[in-house]
Amino acid sequence: MDSVSQFVLGSTVAAVLLGPKLGLRAVALGGVVATLPDLDSFLPFENALDSVTYHRGFSHSLFVQTAVSPFIAAFANFIFKSKQISYSFMLLTVWLCLITHSLLDSLTTYGTQIFWPLDVGSPVAFPSVFIIDPIYTLTLLIGVIGFLFLIRKKQASAQKLVQVCLALSSFYLFLGMSAHLYVKNKASEHPQLAGKRIHVQPTPFNILYWQVLAVDDTKFYTAATSVLSGCRELDLKSYPRLTKLPDYFSNQELPSSVKRFEWFTNGFYTYQNSEQGFKISDLRIGFAPFYPFSYVFGKATNSEFLPHPPKRFKGPKRDLSSLTHLYKLASLTPKGCW
């Protein structure tokens, strides 16, 4: 999720647990602690692909967060020692602020390596909420702002408000998870998608309209739909897909960062030979033909591969008209049932 959402989630968690003793400082403490995992964004990486696939890595691991929580809690207790907060309660608060960050991130398409360093497959992703969702964020923000205004004179009301807002925001995530399962189940029943790997995710800024992606060895399929109708025919579009590079690459060693990107996408990727060179695209992020997570990593000349450090593919710019088109696809008049 975006940094604002993560900050207010941490602030809300801390306000619920430490609000009566720390007041306004609970909001600051929770927000700062919840932001710590995203500091990995500032680490230097060898190339553009590595900066993507190593983000949400070790700093988002539940094991690492559990290991560092005692030290952060001890430091926080030292700062607020005059407030007589038990170490165990401070530890619980810090731990929850950290792990809720990673658990929330795992509900987005990007995925999160919550079990690092265990080799348990691709980053965990159960896409239930878009990376920026105004409803989710505003619900938490209302609670935090209300808490700031009420805590000095109406402590009970302030506590009640953040508790209600945390519950409502959590319920919103539950609705997104339910919608995810509903759409994926419907998509799996579509005759054209039988036997194919399917990925579903909400369209930007909401949980009502959803994207459907399916892949096989030669094609990928895209569609948009809505949870508002239980009777809808998917308007599928198909595109050619390359799961591996041409045969003459067999004697060439594919850059490790490119192979890692295959892993990062959980298999929802495609190769393509563009004018800028060979590229790999994450089909989960974006919507055909706009895939912002596309990276060029080399060119072929006379059956010889000339690699270079992966760099972002410079494609056509996406504007609001493409987003409008996506919503129109999702809200077409039903032609029949899935």
- Co-location of 21 and 158 in the same domain: yes
Structure-block tokens of residue 318: 């996406």
Report if residue 287 sits inside a domain: yes
* Residue recorded with tokens 């295959």: 262
- Co-location of 120 and 221 in the same domain: no
User: Binning pLDDT at 50, 70 and 90, where does residue 233 land?
Assistant: low
Exposed, middle or buried by CB within 10 Å (0-12, 13-18, 19+), for 30? buried
- Co-location of 326 and 193 in the same domain: yes
Supply the angle between the helices 3-22 and 155-188 in degrees, to the nearest 10. 150
**In this model, does residue 301 exceed pLDDT 90?**
no
- Co-location of 170 and 285 in the same domain: no
Model pLDDT, residue 249: 62
- Co-location of 289 and 167 in the same domain: no
Model pLDDT, residue 338: 42
CA distance 142 to 12: 10
Report if residue 162 sits inside a domain: yes
CA diameter of the chain: 77
- Co-location of 117 and 215 in the same domain: no
- Co-location of 118 and 241 in the same domain: no
* Residue recorded with tokens 């999702």: 330
**In this model, does residue 106 exceed pLDDT 50?**
yes
Between residues 220 and 318, the one the model is more confident about: 220
Instruction: Provide the strand spans (E) within the chain.
Output: 197-202, 209-215, 219-226, 237-240, 269-274, 277-282, 294-301, 304-312
Report if residue 323 sits inside a domain: yes
Report if residue 183 sits inside a domain: no
**In this model, does residue 11 exceed pLDDT 90?**
yes
CA distance 80 to 82: 5
Report if residue 184 sits inside a domain: no
**In this model, does residue 317 exceed pLDDT 80?**
no
CA distance 170 to 142: 14
- Co-location of 143 and 86 in the same domain: yes
- Co-location of 136 and 279 in the same domain: no
Q: Which residue among 128, 152, 177 closes a domain?
A: 177
Domains of the chain: total? 2
Secondary structure in 3-state letters for 195-233? CCEEEEEECCCCCCEEEEEEECCCEEEEEEEECCCCCCC
CA distance 192 to 195: 9
Segment 313-319 long-range contacts (CB within 8 Å, at least 24 positions apart): 313/274, 313/276, 313/279, 313/281, 314/276, 315/289, 315/290, 315/291, 316/289, 316/290, 318/286, 318/290, 318/292
Task: Calculate what percentage of the chain has a pLDDT beyond 90.
Answer: 72
Model pLDDT, residue 276: 87
Q: Which residue among 129, 147, 177 closes a domain?
A: 177
- Co-location of 156 and 197 in the same domain: no
User: Binning pLDDT at 50, 70 and 90, where does residue 174 land?
Assistant: very high
Q: Average pLDDT, stretch 177-205?
A: 93
Of 24-33, 111-120, 246-255, least confident by mean pLDDT is 246-255
Report if residue 182 sits inside a domain: no
**In this model, does residue 230 exceed pLDDT 80?**
no
CA distance 202 to 212: 9
Strand partners, 214: 198, 221
User: Binning pLDDT at 50, 70 and 90, where does residue 248 land?
Assistant: low
- Co-location of 173 and 194 in the same domain: no
**Domain hosting residue 22, numbered range:** 3-177
Report if residue 58 sits inside a domain: yes
Q: Which residue among 177, 197, 220 closes a domain?
A: 177
Supply the angle between the helices 134-150 and 155-188 in degrees, to the nearest 10. 170
* Residue recorded with tokens 């003793």: 21
User: Binning pLDDT at 50, 70 and 90, where does residue 315 land?
Assistant: confident
Q: Average pLDDT, stretch 320-336?
A: 56
Nearest-CA neighbor of 91 among 58, 67, 108, 114? 67
Model pLDDT, residue 116: 97
- Co-location of 113 and 217 in the same domain: no
CA distance 282 to 264: 9
Q: Average pLDDT, stretch 297-303?
A: 78
Model pLDDT, residue 231: 52
